[in-house]
Amino acid sequence: MGEEQEYSARDVAMAVRRLDLMMSQMHLEMSERLGLSAAELLALAHLSVDGSLGPTELTHRLHMTTGAMTAMLDRLAERDYIVREPHASDRRRIAVRLTREGRDRIFTQVHGMADEVVAISGRLDPAARRAVMRYIEELSGAIGTPGT
């Protein structure tokens, strides 16, 4: 067996950029297959990852006006992707969550890739998984707070 290749910080940054481009392309193709706008797919992705969210939280995450968010949620509800329901602990608030049908439609689009990601991650030893998690969490934090 040969030696492990050494990668520079720039090599890693460029690999992250390539992954970002591939993910963007995948999301574009997925939104086309599902007949959704990019913003609609992004809202569904947030709900898929984080569970129920309030419309205001989604408005902030997607940098939309409340009117545009309301119209988008109306469209997604009409197509049975989401449901609005009373918030679990504050009856004055509304929560938005994916329907089972919405979750199934999204899962159908990504299940093969998700299975492969789990398999690749499973081949990492525990120390490598911890290092990857720390890296992704730090990178996500940096990306989530642009300009700081």
- Provide the percentage of residues in the chain whose pLDDT is more than 70: 95
> CA torsion 58→64→70→75, rounded to 10°?
-90
Average pLDDT, the chain: 90
> CA torsion 25→74→50→62, rounded to 10°?
60
Banded pLDDT at 1 (limits 50, 70, 90) = low
Predicted TM-score of the model (pTM)? 0.79
Phi, psi of 100 (to 5 degrees): -60, -40
Q: Which range, of 66-70, 119-123, 139-143, averages the lowest pLDDT?
A: 139-143
Asked whether 97 and 83 are in contact (CB, 8 A), the reply is yes
